[in-house]
Amino acid sequence: MAKTVVIDPVTRIEGHAKISIFLDDAGKVDDARFHVVEYRGFEKFCEGRPFTEMAGITARICGICPVSHLLAAAKTGDKILGVKIPVAAEKLRRLMNLAQITQSHALSFFHLSSPDFLLGWDSDPAKRNVFGLIEENPDLARAGIRLRQFGQTIIELLGARKIHAAWTVPGGVRSPLSEESRQWILDRLPESFETLHLALNLFKGMLDEALKSEVDIFGEFPSLFMSLVAADGAWEHYGGHLRFVDSQGNIVADHLSEDDYLSFLGEGVEKWSYLKFPYYRPLGYPEGIYRVGPLARLNTCSHVGTPQADAELREMRQRFTNTVTSSFLYHYARLIEILACLEKIQDLMADPDILSDRCRAKGAVNELEAVGVSEAPRGTLFHHYRVDEDGLIQKVNLIIATGQNNLAMNKTVTQIAQHYIQGPEIPEGFLNRVEAGIRCFDPCLSCSTHAAGQMP
């Protein structure tokens, strides 16, 4: 008899979700669906607030990547003021984003996903978590905790708190970096590099052996990839322009501006999820499936622009293909991105502008509509505001990173379920693998259900 198995809640991800697996009469998997079951409605209740409050309010969309909202809100605010922000302000904002990518990726790898690889997909579900990892491998757990702490502490050094630091403002940032803080960061960098290399070597070793088959089963399919890239095509997380590539690495669209996002991004809705389904408009819904985030960023860029991360990127491309299509390798991409962040943080510490206190431009409301973009740990984030002459918000639209992977996450859970599940008796470890398909994307669901779609 046909039957539906529901995994509720999906654990070791950020946010509220379920997965349904639909079995046919023979017990084979027909289809699987990833449901997001929370919705708060930010875009509507922000109406009427001053645009300068948007950073503080939208940071509360997500406690894992508040910095992404702080940046996107500030960049939208810069455009509303119509100002060019000081050089030091951009560098400081970049520093905070690099720190955030580091902490968020460390959380995803060490705290949330590594128990699957290190303790085992089929290990005791009561222990298969960060506390189990602490028991089993305290040194690695401590190193991972301290790497996340490194990122969180940089955020605190800049913005006076680790989570929801009200530090970015339209026109720049509130306060500069102190020499003491710069020294702390420099002192802690060597340990952070060491931890990252430890994790990277461990994971690469597992890709050769223990995790070989996962690469083919966990969301291996063609799709488009989208992210920001720099003017020269290098990896980017703050500025630059948008680029789409296909799974052969062909550039499908380039030099796109966030201002025109509505011309190339659309959103579908399904009855079974609060999370909408963005797609690449020229290909339609749902054929316009694209992926964002760490793997997409490494696929769209020509190179990273820092020596160690570039060497790792070349190795990844040699091991697989120039454009990497397995969603399992998001984990690999995340580690390479941490390395890129650490190198870029190191470079910024040597930059004479980083201690400058010229970090804020002032202005009044000069434009009534603007779009700001940043690369969040999970992918490209768009904020779009329309304001009145007094700067009060009339309309808000947010396109959130995780939502853009929705079609891909659904495809991934279906692929994994079809591979492992061969009858009505389903071992717990198989269900865990299906959930782990979602963990590859490290979704941020409190963020993702606030996209309001098109601005009318």
Partner 1 sequence: MAKIRFATAWLAGCSGCHMSFLDLDEFLIDLAQQIEVVFSPVGCDLKDYPENVDVCLVEGAIANEENLELAYLIRRRTKTIISFGDCAVTANIPAMRNMLGDESEVLKRAYLELGDATPQLPDEPGIVPPLLEQVLPLHQVIPVDIYLPGCPPPADRIRAAIEPLLRGETPKLEGRELLKFG
The residues in 197-256 that bind ligand SF4, with binding defined as CB under 6 A, are none
- Choose among 283, 298, 158: nearest CA to 225: 298
Q: Which of 5, 22, 37, 206 binds partner 1 (CB under 8 A)?
A: 37
| Closer residue to ligand SF4 in complex, CB, 46/298 | 46
Report how far residue 72's alpha carbon sits from residue 55's, in angstroms, rounded to the nearest whole number: 8
Query: Using CB under 8 A, which residues numbered 204 to 223 contact partner 1?
Result: none
Q: Is 57 in the site for ligand SF4 (CB under 6 A)?
A: no
Taking the C-alpha atoms of residue 88 and residue 158, their distance in angstroms, rounded to an integer, is: 13
- Closer residue to partner 1 in complex, CB, 274/332: 274
DSSP letters, 178-224, are -HHHHHHHHHHHHHHHHHHHHHHHHHHHHHHTTTHHHHHHSSB---E
Residues within window 55-74 making contact with partner 1, judged by CB under 8 A: 57, 60-64, 66
Q: Does 182 bind ligand SF4 (CB under 6 A)?
A: no
Q: In sequence order, what are the beta bridge partners of 19?
A: 7, 34
Give me the least distance between CB of 264 and partner 1, in Å please.
13
Asked if residue 63 binds ligand SF4 (CB under 6 A), the reply is yes
Cα 70 to its chain centre, rounded Å, is 15
> Least CB distance from residue 178 to partner 1, whole Å?
20
Q: According to CB under 8 A, which residues from 304 to 363 bind partner 1? A: none
**Side chain identity, residue 316:** M
Describe the strand order of the beta sheet including 290-291 as a list of residue ranges: 251-256, 241-245, 224-229, 290-291
Q: Which stretch binds partner 1 (CB under 8 A): 129-137, 211-219, 247-255, 406-414?
A: 129-137
Q: For residues 66 and 219, which CB has a smaller minimum distance to ligand SF4 in the complex?
A: 66
Min separation Cβ 96 and partner 1, Å: 16
Q: Which of 94, 237, 276, 411 forms a contact with partner 1 (CB under 8 A)?
A: 276
Residue carrying structure tokens 């599940």 = 421
Which of residues 49 and 419 has its CB atom nearest to ligand SF4 in the complex?
49
In the range 400-439, which residues lie near partner 1 by CB under 8 A?
432
Mention every residue, 6+ apart, whose C-beta is less than 8 A from residue 383: 54, 58, 69, 72, 73, 75, 76, 371, 372, 373, 396, 397, 398
Please give the Cα distance from 117 to 169 (Å, whole number).
41
**What residues make contact with ligand SF4 under the rule CB under 6 A?**
60, 63
